[in-house]
Amino acid sequence: MTASVGAAMDIRFGQTVDAFMRYVTDLGFDHVEFKREYLAGHPDTPGPGRIRELSDRYGVSVTYHAPFRDWNIGSYDEVVRQDSVERVKRTLDDAAEAGAGAVVVHGGSVPKRYPEWVRDRAKQNALRSLAECAEYAQLVGVPLCLENQPINEQKRRYTTTPADLASMRRPIDVPPQYLGVTLDVGHAKVNGYDWRAFVEEFGHRIQICHLHDNDGTADRHEPFPDYESVVEAVPADYFVFEMKSVSDLATSVGTDITPPETELTAHE
């Protein structure tokens, strides 16, 4: 399989799916990732069947990103945990209907200020949730890809280092192709890791690679003109720019192609 390169639709973008797919193909890309927050927030989002039709029309592949705001598969609250798992499962259902190649998922978190027994329960809940979601991914035939997250001062996240991400994957008893890895090069950088450390640890388990840059002090999701060196070195199937604005995509590839007009306004 030849790797696909494209971009994620962000809730800050005003473009419709149709217009965005047209724009990414004008840039020479052939992939779109759908963040659940965009699909929930934009007033004119198509369902998975329509997304499949549009992806066929424009010749682009598709991945989905499970929710990462207002949810937490590692919540110590069982009601929140179960609801979060159901949201991931619904994303996997939609991804299967849309013909998507994979679904990105975050590993959960817990506030650092909470007592140790709460933090321990939250970590075990995160593992339980990930196992349930991975088993469901196998059932529907769409790989789930666990992403390395940026360090947070207030929250303990479970996938900020190669070793921690590996420890989250290791206990999950599903065929490895159904629990892959999403390598986020910007998250690796802001955490003080060279992205190559994740490649050394996970190799071909990396199915998706998120592309953006920062100065090492904050997770800024800035344009990433040096992306070709990553595409050449990372054995992923899909490479996805995660930008704050549509125009940053053009900046990353060094072109001045104007984004499509929209009635909505993108804000940082």
CB 4 within 8 A of CB 31: yes
Owning domain of residue 12: 4-253
261 within domain boundaries = no
Residue 259 has pLDDT above 70, yes or no: yes
95 within domain boundaries = yes
Domain count, the chain: 1
218 within domain boundaries = yes
> Which H or E run contains 122?
helix 116-140
Q: pLDDT band at residue 265, thresholds of 50, 70 and 90? A: very low
**Could you tell me the CA-to-CA distances from 199 to 191, 233, 242 in Å, in that order?**
15, 9, 19
Residue-wise DSSP of 40-86? HHSTT---HHHHHHHHHHHT-EEEEE---SS--TT-SSHHHHHHHHH
Mean pLDDT of the chain: 92
268 within domain boundaries = no
**Cα–Cα distance between 80 and 148 in angstroms, integer?**
22
Per residue in 208-221, pLDDT (tens digit) is 999 999 999 999 99
260 within domain boundaries = no
CATH code of the domain containing 214? 3.20.20.150
Q: How much is the pTM? A: 0.94
Per residue in 40-54, pLDDT (tens digit) is 666 678 899 999 999
240 within domain boundaries = yes
